[in-house]
Chains A and B, each alone.
Chain A
Amino acid sequence: MRSLFVTLLLTSALCGPALAGEIWVTNEKDDTISVIDADTLEVTRTIPTGERPRGIIFSRDYSVVYICASDSDTVQVMNPDTGEILHELPSGEDPEQFALSPDGRHLYIANEDDAVTTVVDVQSRSVVAQINVGTEPEGMAVSPDGKVAITTSETTSMAHWIDTETQTLFANTLVDSRPRHAEFTADGVQMWVSSEIGGTVTVFNSADQTEVGKVRFAITGVNPDLIQPVGFKFTPDGKTAFVALGPSNHVAAVNTETLEVEGYILVGRRVWHLAFSPDSRQLFTTNGVSGDVTVIDVASRTPVKSIKVGRFPWGAAMRPTKSN
């Protein structure tokens, strides 16, 4: 992530001052993607997808975008310029979230209905492995060195650690109820897992899978039951994690060193996932129930705009575009 950011900075230095880009948002109940221009903050395109699009991720070179079309039981591969579906990848049943290996070769896909993680080679378009995990796998992550993949399973309340060499589990660690999302820190030293019903984020030391600490949340005037951490993102400097807190309608800014919450930002209803603008100065949140995207100014940690998208926006991904 950091090297990518540096590359982007260099690119922008060569091409001009602005880092132009788009935020792609999957609309779970509309079977579409809304494309938001990160500069004008307007929806510029609405692209049809398969049924119930959720997870979305760009290839390393941004030439294609992968979309989990959950109810179509497939991962769609789309040309982001034309919106054309190029082909589909065998994904196993009900793919919800996925993660791409650092070399861009393998997709690790959580098959929510099947208690399985499917590993797909995006070049040969074939299944490399299927790994039995807990019930309702959802969160997926791959370590920066590509050696470890993570699946979290919601009903089993575990993070499953996968050795990507052998495609087998080498550790299973309990977390709080209903783990939703997993990410490694940019240096790979820590692995974070959010627990929606448990209301916490658990931080692991990647090297020995031990728990380093837990992030807990409390918002004045909001019932603790409704503070439900789901998606989260680290800032490029690694100092802050922004955590979406579901039906509490807030995003928390967490100090990654102390694991203390520094502040809460009010966004739309039932906030799910997040994506940074290319310059990382703005953060876009998908708000499922209100059907919009909140734009947060990262420096001041204030919401600056709501953008109406489709019904039940869920996943979000950034795509840099050439600046003019």
Chain B
Amino acid sequence: MKLSTLPRAALLAATALALPVMAQTPVQIDVKMTYLRQEAVLPPTLSNLDPIPEDLGIAGAEVAFKDNKTTGAFLGHAYALDVVSVEVGGDLIAAAEAALQSARLILIEAGAADLQRLADLPAAKGAILFNVASGDAGLRDAGCRANLLHTMPEDAMRTDALMQVLQARRWTDLALITGAKPDDRAYAAALRRSAAKFGLKIKAEKAWTFDTDLRRAAPAEVPLFTQDLPDHHALLIADEADDFGRYIEHNTWLPRPIAGSEGLEGQGWAPVVEQWGAVQLQQRFEKSAKRDMTSRDYAAWAAIRAVGEAVTRTNSADPATLRAYMLSDAFTLDGFKGRPLTFRHWNGQLRQPIPVVNARALVQLAPLDGFLHQRNELDTLGLDAPESGCTAFGG
């Protein structure tokens, strides 16, 4: 039964009568934001089953932008969001400099090296840049920048979350297959670090080198490829480009669960997250973007909502005021993950629970019970203050 009992026209008429106060509230401050994207050549993948949406990330920014606008209308805060997409080989620096002329709050979808270059631009001094796409470890370590905050979880947060779940299951003996791309190797490094951190053992590793068409050959090749691995409880896959991983599960020599980039995954966000009011965000997103919400959409959403929350509470659009507030203890963001989200004051990473999911359900939300921390259990995920070599935040 949908809204059939009530004609839509009647609803609209009623709405028109009830003009809200917000219509008369004078605009006091303007909050300008830009979403800057460096388009990338995506590596070829074996399967075309899951095309990558054109508006990845941007769609999340738009939903948060609408949320902010609604709140701003009651307070006299006017938000604006520009989207700038730089084509492959285009001049990202020039685009960033142009954007920084008008907006001092910039969401950036680019690789780690580009992020550092943009953060170091003279024009970016005093602005706030948000990394909404890169999980790169260096950006949260010695390669951090004071004007660069991260709403995308670092890779280590995702792998720490996964290892907590594997440890809780007592699936402590692992094997690892790593793809050939740099992102695969970086993710494999994060898996190794997390396994050591939580006392799990990667007993054997293999590099994925196949160039056959796995769609045909997986049932023949994968059992042989995995036959010589020592016995393990779970098989880890590092395949961040979503190339070969999907052909491993159910083709292995031993019947073992798959985890990592495939199977059981730690993610910033996933369509299967439904508790903690998440259904509302999922529905708002789906209505707006006509597809499921991904981690990058969530990272962009969180960046714009963090700005909105800081503007609402400080009644200011000044980047220095907003940055100070966001990094203070007073800041909390409601991120639909059951706990308030905050920024780490040592490297600007958004502190957040990590859903560990499969394709059909949320398996656990990390941090899990029993993984303790002297200050905040969320800091069992990712680079903790003593581990991070970041000094740009005064740490």
Contact = CB atoms under 8 A, between A and B. Distances in A.
B11 A92 contact: yes
A130 B334 contact: no
A112 B280 CA distance: 8
A89 B3 CA distance: 10
Contact of B15 (A116, A126, A157, A223): A116
A201 to B, nearest CB: 16
Contact of A90 (B3, B283, B313): B3
B1 A129 contact: no
B71 A158 contact: yes
A50 B14 CA distance: 26
A89 B377 CA distance: 45
A74 B5 contact: yes
Interface string B3-39: 1011000110011011111100000000000000000
B284 interface: yes
Contacts of B1: 50, 72-74, 88
A132 B12 CA distance: 11
Given A157-B71, A177-B332, A197-B334, A127 B14 contact: yes
Contacts, number: 114
Given A135-B71, A155-B67, A168-B19, A127 B334 contact: no
Nearest to A69: B1
Contacts of B10: 126-127
A225 B3 contact: no
B5 A178 contact: no
A154 B22 contact: no
Contacts of B19: 168
B71 A156 contact: yes
Given A74-B1, A174-B312, A197 B340 contact: yes
Contacts of A129: 14, 17-18
Interface residues of B, number: 38
B86 to A, nearest CB: 31
A177 B333 contact: yes
A266 interface: no
A169 interface: yes
A171 B74 CA distance: 9
A247 interface: yes
Contacts of B70: 115, 134-135, 155-156
Contacts of A115: 70
Interface residues of A, number: 48
B181 interface: no
A135 B67 contact: yes
A242 to B, nearest CB: 23
A136 interface: yes
Contacts of A176: 332
Nearest to B313: A174
A46 B351 CA distance: 43
Interface in B347-387: 376-378
Contacts of B283: 113
A28 B284 CA distance: 20
A168 B71 contact: no
Contacts of B6: 90, 92, 127
B2 interface: yes
B14 A157 contact: no
Given A127-B6, A168-B18, A169-B21, A156 B277 contact: no
Interface in B60-96: 66-67, 70-71, 74-75
Interface string A87-99: 0111011000000
5 contacts: A92-B3, A130-B18, A134-B71, A156-B70, A197-B332
Given A127-B14, A154-B280, A177-B333, 13 more contacts: A74-B3, A88-B5, A134-B70, A135-B70, A136-B280, A154-B277, A155-B67, A169-B20, A177-B309, A225-B339, A225-B376, A225-B377, A247-B338
